[in-house]
Amino acid sequence: MPTWAGDRLEWTGAVTQIEGSAGGGLVPWALIGGLGTDEQWGASAFATYVSTEDFALRTGGVSVDYDDRVELSVDRQRFAAGSVVPGLTLGQDIVGLKVRVLGDAVFAPDEYLPQISVGAQWKRTLDFDEIPKAVGAERGEDVDLYIAATKLYFAALAGHDVILDATLRRTRANQFGLLGFGSSAPGGNGYSYEPEISAAVWIVDSLLFGAEYRDKPSNLTAFHENGAEDLFVAWAPVKNIALTAAWADLGGIAGKTSQRGAYVSLWIGI
In this structure, are residues 252 and 225 in contact, taking their beta carbons and an 8 Å threshold? yes
More confident residue, 7 or 64: 64
pLDDT at 200 over 80: yes
Q: Would you place residue 6 in the very low, low, confident or very high pLDDT band (cuts 50, 70, 90)?
A: low
Half-sphere exposure of 30 (CA within 13 A, CB side): 26
Average pLDDT, the chain: 90
Beta pairing class for 228-238 and 207-214: antiparallel
In this structure, are residues 10 and 31 in contact, taking their beta carbons and an 8 Å threshold? no
> Looking at residues 9-22, what average pLDDT do you find?
85
pLDDT at 109 over 60: no
Q: How far is CA 101 from CA 35, 58, 116, 147, 153, in A?
A: 18, 32, 6, 10, 20
> Tell me, what's the pLDDT at 174?
94
Distant-in-sequence, close-in-space partners of 54: CB < 8 Å, separation ≥ 6: 83, 84, 253, 256, 259
pTM (2 d.p.)? 0.93
Extents of the domains making up the chain? 15-269
* Domain 15-269 CATH class label: mainly beta
Query: Tens digits of per-residue pLDDT, 216-234?
Result: 999 998 888 899 999 999 9
> Looking at residues 204-226, what average pLDDT do you find?
93
Q: Which of 3-17, 191-205, 233-247 has the lowest mean pLDDT?
A: 3-17
> Tell me, what's the pLDDT at 187?
77
pLDDT at 3 over 60: no
% of residues, the chain, pLDDT over 70: 94
> Tell me, what's the pLDDT at 85?
77
> Looking at residues 172-184, what average pLDDT do you find?
94
Distance CA 254, CA 89 (A): 13
> Looking at residues 171-191, what average pLDDT do you find?
90
Query: Tens digits of per-residue pLDDT, 95-107?
Result: 999 999 999 888 6
